[in-house]
């Protein structure tokens, strides 16, 4: 429902006829290049997954890993986070990887992605510190900012002490989550191919940013857009994907909200958000659809072998 509302909201800002005009006049060479960067990120994610599975004793075929990743992306458009479950299930079905182990590797992946996202946010805050500081100074006076920071610091201190010492169910869950998070992070550094894993993780996110950046060249209205706006727009858009299934409706609004901080007009901002979202969604729908069709085909011989072995037994 939220996605439907946000679609209506974006179309109330930019009429459909005007939005279609932006699509018609866009430079599709840049859009295709952006889709290529997106494709590279997904292939890298599938390859990176193998680094987590190998220490568990499973040599998964790259083709199955790739199709599992694309199938997961497609399924996430229907039910939030169901894609991760489906992704682990694919390996259980076609590679005999126990579901809980496959799902555990996906959780470890998400931890690594979260850390890189935090790193990107930190870099953005560093690069755009003057702009962000000035923005808050204009919106709130310095005294209010100082009071807010003090209150947040006190709340954080009290909250951490409560979680550390409390025996309530909520506190125990938080401690368990944080402990698991740290364990997942440390496991990354203990794996045999940790540097390859870390390298692929940074490559994946570099491709995400590159995809977002080069696609901005498809609209002449966004010529000379500051790179700081690209970074803030990318971060905002990334979080929007969690708001609705695959960012439906929320993605262009998130881009518009970020770009508005830089006084970029709303029409090209929303149109750009729709262009990025549509192009990447098309890639994922095609890749995911083909993967769901081809998975049983590529694994047909293996299924026959398993069936024959059972008959012999």
How much is the pLDDT for 308?
45
Look at residue 299 and tell me if it is in a domain. Answer: yes
CA angle at 174 for the pair 173 and 177, rounded to the nearest 5°: 85
Residue with tokens 């018609």: 24
Looking at the structure of the chain, the number of domains it has is 1
Q: What is this structure's pTM?
A: 0.81
Look at residue 209 and tell me if it is in a domain. Answer: yes
Look at residue 151 and tell me if it is in a domain. Answer: yes
Domain of 284? 2-307
Look at residue 279 and tell me if it is in a domain. Answer: yes
Look at residue 313 and tell me if it is in a domain. Answer: no
First and final CA of the chain: distance in angstroms?
52
Look at residue 155 and tell me if it is in a domain. Answer: yes
Phi, psi angles (nearest 5°) of residue 141: -80, 165
Look at residue 175 and tell me if it is in a domain. Answer: yes
For the chain, which ranges sit under pLDDT 70? Answer: 1, 131-146, 177-190, 302-313
CA dihedral (102, 103, 105, 107) in degrees, to 10, reads 170
Look at residue 312 and tell me if it is in a domain. Answer: no
Tokens of 81: 């986070």
């Amino acid at each position: 429902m939220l996605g439907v509302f946000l679609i209506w909201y974006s179309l109330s800002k930019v009429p459909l006829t005007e939005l279609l005009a932006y699509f018609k006049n866009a430079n599709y060479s840049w859009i295709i290049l952006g889709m290529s960067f997106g494709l590279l990120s997904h292939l890298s994610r599938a390859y990176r997954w193998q680094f987590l599975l190998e220490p568990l004793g499973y040599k998964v075929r790259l083709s199955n890993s790739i199709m599992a990743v694309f199938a997961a992306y497609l399924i996430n458009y229907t039910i939030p986070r169901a894609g991760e479950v489906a992704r682990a299930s694919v390996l259980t079905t076609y590679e005999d990887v126990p579901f809980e182990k496959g799902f555990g590797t996906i959780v470890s992946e998400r931890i690594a992605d979260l850390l890189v996202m935090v790193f990107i946010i930190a870099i953005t805050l560093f690069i755009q510190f003057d702009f962000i500081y000035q923005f808050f100074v204009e919106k709130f006076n310095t005294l209010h900012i100082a009071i807010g920071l003090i209150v947040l610091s006190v709340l954080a201190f009290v909250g951490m002490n409560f979680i550390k010492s409390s025996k309530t169910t909520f506190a125990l869950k938080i401690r368990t989550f944080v402990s698991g998070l740290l364990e997942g992070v440390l496991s990354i550094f203990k794996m045999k191919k940790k540097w390859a894993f870390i390298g692929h993780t940074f490559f994946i996110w570099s491709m995400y940013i590159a995809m977002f950046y080069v696609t901005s060249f498809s609209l002449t209205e966004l010529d000379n857009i500051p790179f700081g706006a690209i970074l803030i727009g990318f971060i905002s858009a990334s979080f929007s994907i969690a708001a609705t299934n695959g960012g439906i409706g929320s993605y262009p609004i998130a881009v518009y909200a970020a770009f508005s901080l830089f006084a970029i007009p709303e029409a090209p901002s929303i149109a750009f958000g729709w262009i990025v979202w549509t192009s990447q969604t098309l890639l994922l729908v095609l890749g995911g659809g083909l993967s769901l069709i081809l998975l049983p085909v590529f694994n047909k011989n293996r299924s026959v072998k398993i069936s024959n072995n059972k008959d012999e037994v």
